[in-house]
Every structure is written in structure tokens, then in C-alpha cells.
Amino acid sequence: MKRATLAAALSTLFLAAPALANQTYVCTHGDKQRVISVVYATEGQTVPCEVTYDKGMGAESLWQAQNLAGYCEEQAAAFVEKQRGWGWTCTQQ
């Protein structure tokens, strides 16, 4: 009985925990589009990660973190704000 209760509790815990998905921002300015993404190497973990920037000719890596949780998200958010300051309209996908 204890095993069944423990198994049920663990199943509920794992099912309730959201999977960490890559974050993507699409920025537009006139007919131009830029894509800023936070890419996670391992599903469900915030590190390692990288921030990529795609101007339509392939993504380039701007920042990476191996063990500092939150770094990629902060860098991406700051870069999105810079884009907005330059007149781009950015939305999170």
C-alpha cells in the first residue's frame, strides 16, 4: 500500500512539473524579422543553455551558460529590450 501511495505521489509530481521548453522571441521592423531564442541542451533543465540570434541567414550563438541558471534568460530579455529600443516590435512565441 505504501509503495502504491508513493508511486502515485511521484507520478503526480512529475506530471505536474512543466517541461522546460525553449523560449523564442520574434522581433519585426517593417519587413525585417529577427528571432532571439533561449535554447536548452537538456529538456527540463535550465543549464546548459545558449541564446541564439537569427537574422534570416542562420542562427548565431550570442551567450552560453554551463552552470549559471537564469543567465541565458536574463541575456535574452535584455537583448529583446535593446531591440525594442531600436524600434523593433518583439513578441514571445
pLDDT category of residue 4 using cuts at 50, 70 and 90: very low
pTM of the predicted protein model: 0.78
| 51-87 pLDDT tens trace | 999 999 999 999 999 999 999 999 999 999 999 999 9
Residue 51 falls in which region: left (phi positive, over 0), alpha (psi -120 to 50) or beta: beta
32-40/49-54 β-pairing: antiparallel
Amino acid 12: pLDDT: 36
CA distance linking residue 80 with residue 62, whole number of Å = 13
Terminal Cα-to-Cα distance of the chain (whole angstroms): 44
